[in-house]
Each structure stands twice: as structure tokens, then as C-alpha cells.
């Protein structure tokens, strides 16, 4: 159908719908553009007589209504203008008399305290900034909360601004109103003014000494901690409330030192001081990147009273053993060993009574990781995380007999990276069997082969001495070496799911 015919049909249909009830000759004249006959003209004149009389009447009525509508619109606008000042006065009085305006300031402050997020963020949609937009009272209540002022980060970099630094700390701690505070200091030392910077920072630390009684968590970081820590020599701080101490060194960890291939920098020496050794409540220490390697660094801390020690730097075997044996109250320990020297077995094992959680990582130069663990009796150990970084699994010696590792007998949760697929294929099973109190197990770096098929079969429920019956959590992480991932999951899950396990048992597989 061409466009002309489409247009004509549309045109005809439109007029036919509008011309319903019209005389036939008028309808035909409306639809078809043909010469009009006299009969059609006569019919049209007769057909228009009635509307020609009625339309002027309708127009007159509509014009009258338009005039009335215009008058009503004018009256409405006048009333709105007259009512506007009355509305403003009414709204102002209602706002003053609103119950929320009569809430005591203490209640507003308590509401603001209860709405503080667990992890504060500087966004206007969350408290406390959202409350600051309600009214001046709410803003004053939110900003007067001492909880807002319990954490202070300061970067000391301008050697001429130590007076401004002092004023900032005094004002901030004053707003905290005696609440326990976290105080983080980062030191920067310009190369050309390092002696002057040390002097200026020492003056700053001394002048804020009266406020340090409120510090619960102290963080100290610098491009070189060996330069920053001597500034505390004359600080005269009273750290009665200090519980957690954090050291962070921007320089990378000196790996060769832990391996016994290098010596510490002789120019970086921390002179003995009692600043932190007299902090009676200090129980947790976290260090990152080469604190232990600074000459005098280990003598800086009261190791005997520490319960949590997290060292994110490479240690030699000697330093690790010294810390383990010095921290008599140690409960949580995270250590990284980079020493390739084999630990010497003592005549009698030392007993670490309080240790409950141990994270131990050794690098690929080290002996078997359990050769470190077998040095101690750990009767309270509940969580054990062993991680052995290695390039060639066959390069390490066979591990000790699992039943002789006493630490495995008390462990309830074990995280373990298997590096013995070549030298001791079934050793994981021996470890799990020796861990008689095991409730949670994570196996990492699982590889395909008959070794793990035998392992999963031995762990299954239809085994005479089933292991999975006592587990509530079991996670397997495999490497990309497993090409047929689906079949591996089926193998591991079917081997460990023959009967109903412990209530709440969770089995997971994960591809790295």
C-alpha cells in the first residue's frame, strides 16, 4: 500500500468518525474533494441554522465565565498576599513552641551520642555531621561529644610550628574531656635541618606531657624510627593509661638481617630510656618494618608484661625465641621468620603457659615450619595459623612426627598451607589426626592428585576413626593447578559428606 492510499484512508476514517449523524450528502462532501451540487448547498444551509443560533449564546456564556474566573483569580491572589505575613508569624510561633525545641540539651546530647556510627566517616548523611544541620542546639550537642575527640592524627613536619602543634593538642584533648584517647604521631625530618627538627619535636613532646595520661593507644611512625624515637628521651610522659603501642617504619624490612647476612645500621641507635618500660598497663604492641633491627630497639619495651605482640617484620630465629621466652604473659603472637638457620633443639622444651593464638610465617629459605613450633610446650594454644612461603616444596626437609608436636594437641582452629606434598604427602592427615581438639580447619594450597584423594577418604565419616565428626568448619583452597575444578569439588565434597556431620558443619571450596 503506497503512502497516498494510507493517507487517504486515515483522512477518510477521521472525517467519518466526526460526521456521524450528518446528512449523507454533507458527509460525502466532507470526505471527498468533489464539486458540490446545489442540493448539497441547500442541505448545508438548512443543517447550519441551529448551530448558527446556539454558538453565539455559548460564546457569550463562556466569555462571562472567563470574566468571573479572572475576578476569582484576582481575589485569590489578594487573599494569598494578605495571608502570607500571618502564615510566617504562625510558622515562627509554631517552631518556637514545638516540643522538639523544648527537649533538654542533655537529652539531645545523649541522642547524638547514641547515633554515632561505630566507624565514623566525614559524610553529611551520617551522624554527627547530619545532626549539625538540624539546628544550632543539635550542632552544639553533636560537637560537644567527647567521643568525637578521642582520636588525633598529627604529622610533624614544620620545625617552626611546634607551638601551633602544642595548641592543637591541648584544644583537642580538652574537648575529649578526659576520655581515653588514641594519639598517632608521624615524624618527618628534612635532611638539611634534621638536628633542628629533633630539638623542635623534643620541645613539643615535653610541653604536652600533662595530657599523655589520657592516651590509651599511641602510634609512632616515621621515615626512620631510629631518628624519631630519641626525641622521646626527655619527654617525661606519664603513660598510666597506655594499653596499645604501635610502631611503623616507612622503610621496607631489611630481609638480609633476619637471614644473618647483614648488620643493623650503626648510625641508628636508640639510647636506653624508661618511657614505655614504666607504662604499667601496656599490654599490646604492633610493629611494622624494621623496629627490632634498630640498635637498642628491643630494650625499648617491657616485654615481660605484654599479652599481644604483632610483628610485621622479618625476624631472626634468635630474636623470635627471645620474644617468646621473655613475654611471660603472651596470649596472641604474630611473627614472620626469615632466618635460614636451623633452630637448635633445647635440652628441655620451654613452656609458654598463656599463648592462645599464634600466627607464624616463615620464608622459603627456612627449615620446616614445625621445627620452630616443636621447640615449645603450648598448653593453652587454641588458634594456630601456619604459613610457609616456598618456591620449591622439595627443598625443605621432612617435618617432625606430628604426634610429637605438642601444640597440635590443644589447637581448636588450624589454618595451614601445605608445602609437603612432595616430601611427606600424607603429613596433613597426620597433623589433623594429632589435633584431637580440632573444630575448625582451613587447608590452603591444595593440589590435585592421589594424595588429597586419600586424605579426604581418610577424613570421611565412614572411616573407622572419622575426623569430620568433630569439625564445625572445613575450608579447602586450591591452586590453579587444578584444571577440572568441578570434579575436584565433587571428589572432596562427596568424600567428606557420607553421613550427617556435626550440627552447623560448613564445608567450603575456594579456587585461588
Q: Give me the residue spans of the domains in the chain.
A: 1-53
Which residue bears the cell 610502631? Answer: 247
345-375: pLDDT as tens digits:
666 788 899 999 999 888 755 556 787 888 8
| Four-CA torsion 229, 235, 237, 239, nearest 10 degrees | 0
Average pLDDT, the chain: 79
What confidence category does residue 10 fall into, taking pLDDT thresholds of 50, 70 and 90? Answer: very low
Question: Of the ranges 167-176, 217-226, 269-278, 356-365, which is most confident?
Answer: 167-176
Percent of residues, the chain, with pLDDT higher than 90? 28
CA 151 to chain centroid, in Å, comes to 18
What pLDDT score was predicted for residue 280?
92
Give DSSP secondary structure letters for 82-134.
Answer: HHHHHHHHHHHHHHHH-GGGGS-HHHHHHHHHHT--SS----TTSTTTTGGGT
Between the CA of residue 408 and those of 130, 321, 424, 459, what are the distances in Å? 52, 19, 18, 17
What pLDDT score was predicted for residue 511?
43
Instruction: Tell me if the pTM is above 0.85.
Output: no
229-260: pLDDT as tens digits:
889 988 999 999 999 999 888 765 555 555 55
Count of CA atoms in the C-beta half-sphere (13 A) of 330: 28
Q: Report which of 362, 373, 426, 428 is spatially closest to residue 395, judged by C-alpha positions.
A: 362
Residue 390 gets the label, from left (phi > 0), alpha (psi -120 to 50) or beta, of beta
Q: What is the mean pLDDT of residues 99-123?
A: 78
What pLDDT score was predicted for residue 203?
94
Give dist(CA 13, CA 3) in Å, integer: 15
Mean pLDDT lowest among 127-141, 163-177, 312-326, 339-353: 339-353
| Peptide bond preceding 128 in cis form (omega within 30 of 0) | yes
Q: Which residues lie across from 377 on neighbouring strands?
A: 351
Give dist(CA 249, CA 266) in Å, integer: 17
164 with 133: CB under 8 angstroms? no
Give dist(CA 41, CA 453) in Å, integer: 103
Amino acid at each position: 500500500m503506497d503512502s497516498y492510499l494510507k493517507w487517504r484512508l486515515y483522512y477518510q476514517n477521521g472525517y467519518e468518525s466526526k460526521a456521524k449523524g450528518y446528512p449523507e450528502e454533507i458527509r460525502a462532501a466532507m470526505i471527498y474533494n468533489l464539486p458540490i451540487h446545489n442540493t448539497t448547498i441547500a442541505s448545508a444551509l438548512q443543517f447550519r441554522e441551529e448551530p448558527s443560533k446556539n454558538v453565539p449564546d455559548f460564546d457569550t456564556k463562556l466569555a462571562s465565565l472567563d470574566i468571573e474566573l479572572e475576578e476569582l483569580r484576582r481575589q485569590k491572589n489578594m487573599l494569598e498576599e494578605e495571608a502570607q505575613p500571618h502564615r510566617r508569624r504562625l510558622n515562627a510561633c509554631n517552631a518556637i513552641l514545638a516540643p522538639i525545641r523544648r527537649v533538654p540539651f542533655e537529652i539531645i546530647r545523649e541522642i547524638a551520642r547514641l547515633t554515632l556510627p561505630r566507624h565514623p566517616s566525614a559524610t553529611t548523611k551520617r551522624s554527627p555531621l547530619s545532626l549539625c544541620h538540624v539546628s544550632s542546639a543539635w550542632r552544639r550537642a553533636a560537637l560537644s561529644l567527647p567521643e568525637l575527640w578521642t582520636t588525633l592524627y598529627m604529622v610533624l613536619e614544620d620545625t617552626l610550628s611546634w607551638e601551633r602543634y602544642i595548641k592543637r593538642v591541648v584544644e583537642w584533648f580538652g574537648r575529649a574531656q578526659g576520655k581515653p584517647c588514641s594519639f598517632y604521631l608521624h615524624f618527618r625530618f628534612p635532611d638539611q635541618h634534621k638536628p633542628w627538627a629533633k630539638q623542635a619535636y623534643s620541645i613539643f613532646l615535653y610541653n604536652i606531657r600533662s595530657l599523655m595520661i589520657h592516651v590509651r593507644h599511641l602510634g609512632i611512625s616515621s621515615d626512620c624510627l631510629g631518628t624519631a624515637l630519641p626525641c622521646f628521651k626527655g619527654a617525661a610522659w606519664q603513660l598510666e593509661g597506655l594499653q596499645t603501642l604501635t610502631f611503623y617504619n616507612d622503610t621496607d624490612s631489611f630481609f638480609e638481617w633476619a637471614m644473618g647476612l647483614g648488620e643493623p645500621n650503626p648510625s641508628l641507635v636508640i639510647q636506653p630510656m624508661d618511657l614505655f618500660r614504666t607504662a604499667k598497663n601496656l599490654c599490646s604492641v604492633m610493629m611494622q618494618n624494621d623496629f627490632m633491627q634498630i640498635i637498642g630497639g628491643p630494650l625499648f619495651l617491657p616485654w615481660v608484661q605484654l599479652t599481644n605482640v604483632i610483628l610485621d617484620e622479618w625476624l631472626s630465629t634468635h630474636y623470635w625465641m627471645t620474644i617468646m621466652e621473655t613475654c611471660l604473659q603472651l596470649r596472641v603472637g604474630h611473627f614472620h621468620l626469615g632466618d635460614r638457620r636451623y633452630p637448635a633443639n633445647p635440652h628441655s622444651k620451654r613452656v609458654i603457659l598463656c599463648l592462645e593464638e599464634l600466627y607464624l610465617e616463615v620464608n622459603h629459605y627456612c627449615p620446616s615450619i614445625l621445627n620452630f613450633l616443636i621447640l615449645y610446650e603450648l598448653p593453652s594454644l587454641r588458634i594456630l595459623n601456619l604459613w610457609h612461603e616456598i618456591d620449591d616444596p622439595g627443598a625443605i626437609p621432612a617435618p617432625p612426627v606430628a604426634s610429637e608436636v605438642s601444640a597440635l594437641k590443644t589447637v581448636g582452629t588450624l589454618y595451614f598451607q601445605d608445602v609437603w606434598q612432595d616430601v611427606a604427602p600424607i603429613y596433613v592427615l597426620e597433623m589433623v589426626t594429632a589435633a584431637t581438639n580440632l573444630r575448625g580447619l582451613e587447608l590452603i594450597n591444595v593440589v590435585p592428585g592421589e594424595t588429597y584423594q586419600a586424605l579426604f577418604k581418610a577424613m570421611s565419616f565412614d572411616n573407622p576413626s572419622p575426623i569430620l565428626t568433630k569439625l564445625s568448619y572445613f575450608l579447602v583452597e586450591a591452586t590453579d593447578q587444578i584444571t577440572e575444578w568441578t570434579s575436584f569439588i565433587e571428589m572432596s565434597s562427596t568424600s567428606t559428606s557420607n553421613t550427617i556431620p556435626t550440627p552447623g558443619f560448613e564445608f567450603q571450596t575456594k579456587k585461588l
